Structure 1
Amino acid sequence: MSQIVAARFTTFDAAEAARKRLLTSGLIEEDVAEFYVNPGGQHARYPIGGDEYADPQARPAGLGATGSGAIGAVVGAAVAVVLTFMLFHAFLVLAVATLVGAYVGTLIGALLLTRGASRANEPGSMAMPHERESGVLLAVHVNSGMQARAVRDLRETSGQDIEIASGLWQDGRWADFDPTRRVKPLDSDGSVPASGTTKY
């Protein structure tokens, strides 16, 4: 496995400027690769599209729908009992209100839990592991002697989400790069977060 330092840039021009800076620092063309990373969900990992079999933010929806549906059914039944015996004097109201309560409870529960999952996936700090953003990725194949210089050059040329990874470098490119893996960016002092170096 090779040691790779990478950073994200918003434009190809910015990535090209960083690449030229790296080449003047002693790296060779075969050790620097740039490529565009599509937005999340657009990496065509499955034949019908998408990156994952199921959207991770939608996974809690079933549990929320089940629990809240049961609560809604109980509340609907309670309201129906009151309406049945006080106003309508018909058991049909009991059945309809129970079903409506279950439906509304199911919908609200699913929506609340998926909204919570979305917030949980938002990075609290860009220095913490988070979903990879789209942009131009500049990857640099380094040895231990060049790593610090590469990190410094990428940082000084406005590289974002600078990371150190262990992967397969082949024919001048990061051969086993996986755009769906979470980014583990370096802290501002250049240290790797507690979760460690990304391994591919």
Structure 2
Amino acid sequence: MSLIVAARFDTFDEAAVAARKLCTEGFTEDDIHTFYINTAGEHARFPIGGDRVADPDSKGGHFGAVAGASALGLLFALLGGLIAARLAASILIVIAAAGVGAYLGALAGALWVVGRGRRGRPGVPPAPDVHPGLRQAGVMLALHVSPDRDAAARKVLSEAGGRDIERAQGRWLNGKWEDFDPLRPPRRVDAPSMAG
């Protein structure tokens, strides 16, 4: 495993300026890998797209849909039955009312349950295991460094405008961070101070 220091930039031009600064500090082009990271959810890990099998906030949504469909479907069927009895109308009104109620209930029930973890208590962030730190979209400049050059690399990246500087252990092969995983939470580190 190799030590890798990386930073995020807004444009490829900004990353190119940082790469030139790194080269003037003695790093080689084979030690620098620049690539773009998509927004979370757009990494196409599955055939139909997306990063995960399900959104963590959707947990329990199907139970809310079934409960809402049952409750409102029954309520609308009763109301439809009362209306049908008063107007001496056909049973189709009861069936239609039950269907409309079930549809609206499923929608309302699912929406009520989905995201409840986020609504929890105001001002309290969600648990980190539910929503681990994600990388922001942007241009990533990754740098293969030796442990003794780590601080210098972070300082140059910071001075060049790099944000969200992180350190990782990974496989560096042919000038690229081969095992980079955009879904793995980053281990962010601070850049050394100008005086250090």
TM-score range, shorter chain: 0.7 to 0.9
- What's 2:139 paired with? 136
> What is the rounded CA distance, in whole Å, between the counterparts of 2:3 and 2:191 in structure 1?
20
Return 5+ residue gaps in structure 2 as ranges. Answer: 126-130
Is residue 165 from structure 1 mapped to residue 164 from structure 2 by the alignment?
A: no
- Deviation of residue 11 (structure 1)? 0.7
- Deviation of residue 41 (structure 1)? 4.4
Return 5+ residue gaps in structure 1 as ranges. Answer: 191-200
- Deviation of residue 186 (structure 1)? 3.3
Change (3 A) 1:84 1:38: same
Classify the secondary structure of the residue corresponding to 1:145.
Answer: helix
> What is the rounded CA distance, in whole Å, between the counterparts of 1:59 and 1:188 in structure 2?
38
- What's 1:43 paired with? 43
> What is the rounded CA distance, in whole Å, between the counterparts of 1:74 and 1:174 in structure 2?
57
Q: Which aligned pairs between 1:3-152 and structure 2 lie closer than 5 A?
A: 3-46=3-46, 48-52=47-51, 54-56=53-55, 60-80=60-80, 82-84=82-84, 87-89=86-88, 92=91, 93-114=93-114, 129-152=132-155
Contact 2:67-2:109 within 8 A present in 1 as well = yes
Change (3 A) 1:189 1:61: farther
Contact 1:51-1:180 within 8 A present in 2 as well = no
TM-score by length of 2: 0.73
> What is the rounded CA distance, in whole Å, between the counterparts of 2:119 and 2:19 in structure 1?
35
> What is the rounded CA distance, in whole Å, between the counterparts of 2:116 and 2:68 in structure 1?
15
> What is the rounded CA distance, in whole Å, between the counterparts of 1:129 and 1:73 in structure 2?
38
Give the share of equivalent positions with the same residue, in percent.
37
Classify the secondary structure of the residue corresponding to 1:79.
Answer: helix
Contact 2:44-2:51 within 8 A present in 1 as well = no
> What is the rounded CA distance, in whole Å, between the counterparts of 1:10 and 1:119 in structure 2?
31
Change (3 A) 1:79 1:178: same
- What's 1:181 paired with? 184
TM-score by length of 1: 0.71
Which structure would you say has the larger Rg?
Answer: 2
- Deviation of residue 174 (structure 1)? 0.2
> What is the rounded CA distance, in whole Å, between the counterparts of 1:91 and 1:155 in structure 2?
74
Change (3 A) 1:175 1:64: same
Contact 1:33-1:174 within 8 A present in 2 as well = yes
- What's 2:159 paired with? 156
Tell me how large the CA RMSD over aligned residues is.
3.3
Length, aligned pairs only = 182
Classify the secondary structure of the residue corresponding to 1:26.
Answer: coil
